[in-house]
Amino acid sequence: MEKKISTAEAIIMILMAIFTDLIQLVLYLSVIFAIAAPAVGLLYSGIIQFWMTMKGLRGTYILVNNAVSALFPIKSISVIVLIFMVNNPRVAQIASVAGGKPASGGVAGKLNAPKVKVLDRWEKNDKGVLVKTI
């Protein structure tokens, strides 16, 4: 399986995340510019969202990236988790099952519900009342 995110892209995005984290740290430490720190975070989040959309990543990856970003205020952690999820074939298979598209094997075969045979048949009679037919 080929990697969706190349090593060069991963390095660029991680360095950009670390740079954003450092800028936010400096802005939070300075009392005067502390209000600008969330703006820097939002700008970086917009760049990441655009990048993920252009890479063709599904909503599952975007949702997990946003959840990790909300749990940990450090943006570089969320980018590292995203890159790991996208490039790891086992996680990609689980994400494809969670996203509603069954994978080719493994977990997908175990998650499919068994087919249920309908034994009873109900129809409306002349008066419009449902009755069981044989």
For 5, 8, 37, 51, the CA distances from 63, given in Å and listed in that order, are: 17, 24, 23, 14
Torsion angle of the four alpha carbons 119, 125, 127, 129, in this order, in degrees rounded to the nearest 10: 0
What digits encode the pLDDT tens for the residues 101-114? 444 444 444 555 45
Q: 105 or 81: which carries more pLDDT confidence?
A: 81
Stated pTM of the model: 0.61
Query: What is the C-alpha separation between 67 and 74, in angstroms, rounded?
Result: 12
Domain positions in the chain are 7-111
What digits encode the pLDDT tens for the residues 8-31? 999 999 999 999 999 988 888 887
Helices (H), 3-122: 7-29, 37-55, 59-71, 75-87, 89-98, 107-111
